[in-house]
Structure 1
């Protein structure tokens, strides 16, 4: 667990915000917060750890302490990897706010292995196991659990989050998926989050020998996924996080020019806020 030198300004900004539509904050890595006009607040894949140096080295600040989060209605996890399911980050948020935790079965296995109920006092009733095709309500948001394609995960899912203000897609660490054209037919996706990164040499987890590693979609695959999903706005994520796998998201402007979608590329940095457009 890393210590933050940012103080509590970011969780305070979320708590104090009164958005007209839906406000979206980028937490770095693949973490986001969504807050609706009625105050409903969702966290998706928040991660405040530092990785496993020197194998995985965090390249961005730890933006807040989880105990500084005072508002959360739900925390959503996309898959079981440690930068998406992380007890020291997520369990204190659940304990302090009473938020529900939604995650697929492989992610819940991590929760059980880390004994969140014993270590952080989270109540068992807060945990909800989800699978593709599920739908649930959190305040003003309707959340659909959808299939994605992350070849490195045991059971990854994505989330389509609907509200009166618009619809947000979070794909976790997905690559392009056969399911995406069908999702484009089902949903009008106003904003989509897709993980993006370079290919690099990382020490193997077991042998620690350098190994060619690709965990995220490259430039061409990100735009392919965005086009298949027919995204109005694309927000690339994860490009900032791990040493040797970082990337320049501005290059996606060039790759997107030859396709119908996304209509717009929103490059955000850790701590930035963007908003869905008003439907008026």
Structure 2
């Protein structure tokens, strides 16, 4: 992690907001802060690290210092990768706000064993809540459903369908198209879906440093298929901004989704943007 490029304005914006429905702030990479009309705040996959240069190089600003986060009821992780579970990015939020950390088993193993959050920060073991597919968690005004996703690069990925009186959103983590998505469309009327999108590029191998052809996220055709299977009203592509060599142009998705029944709208956000249900 490095110092915030933007000071504390983004955490202040979340804390000061009084949304009529549900507001979401895009944190870059695959992170979001989500605030409901009653004041409940969720943070999903917040990451303010710089990667592991020269292998993974962050291409966007560090938008906030987690020590500046004053409001959080829960921090949710979709899977165990560093840009989704990262002690310096997330543990200070738990420490400062007494929020719960909600994640599947392999993500919790990173926090408990690999990074030892309870030793490095003032966090109790009780802050950790393990979830798996099929679980339902009530967090303030939100009902969070833990659902199956498909991410072959992760050991135990999950997605979160988040219901609110104002509407329903879905954060799929880094999932590519999944056999579960059509079923989710039958169970939930998803107003806004968050899906990872990126290009195919070369990333240096961890051991040799040699460039390796890498595809971590859905390409244009895959994200279009996933959005259609989920029967999304609004599609928000993410992760396209983050890693050198894997960035992509989300405006290209207009041509890929236009002939399908869903999504009804492609909504492109940049780091720091707010959108509302």
Q: Secondary structure at the match of 1:155?
A: coil
Q: TM-score, normalised on structure 1? A: 0.98
Cα displacement string for residues 126-175 of structure 1 (whole angstroms, at most 9, x for unaligned residues) = 10010000001000000000000001000000000000000010000000
Q: Secondary structure at the match of 1:117?
A: helix
Corresponding residue for residue 79 of structure 1? 79
Corresponding residue for residue 160 of structure 2? 159
Corresponding residue for residue 103 of structure 2? 103
Q: Secondary structure at the match of 2:129?
A: strand
Distance 1:27 1:5 in 2: 13
Corresponding residue for residue 200 of structure 2? 199
Corresponding residue for residue 58 of structure 2? 58
Corresponding residue for residue 232 of structure 2? 231
Q: Secondary structure at the match of 2:157?
A: coil
Corresponding residue for residue 121 of structure 1? 122
Q: TM-score, normalised on structure 2? A: 0.99
1:193, distance to aligned residue in structure 2 (A) = 0.2
Corresponding residue for residue 34 of structure 1? 34
- Return 5+ residue gaps in structure 1 as ranges: none
Corresponding residue for residue 208 of structure 1? 209
Corresponding residue for residue 3 of structure 2? 3
Distance 1:211 1:140 in 2: 45
Aligned-residue RMSD, C-alpha: 0.4
Distance 1:66 1:130 in 2: 24
Cα displacement string for residues 36-85 of structure 1 (whole angstroms, at most 9, x for unaligned residues) = 00000000000000000001000000001000000000000000000000
The number of residue pairs the alignment matches comes to 276
Distance 2:206 2:106 in 1: 20
Q: Secondary structure at the match of 2:174?
A: coil
1:5, distance to aligned residue in structure 2 (A) = 2.0
Distance 1:178 1:57 in 2: 32
Cα displacement string for residues 101-131 of structure 1 (whole angstroms, at most 9, x for unaligned residues) = 1000010110012110010111110100100
Distance 1:206 1:165 in 2: 48
| Moved beyond 4 Å, runs of 4+ | none
Corresponding residue for residue 68 of structure 1? 68
Distance 1:132 1:186 in 2: 14
Q: Secondary structure at the match of 2:35?
A: strand
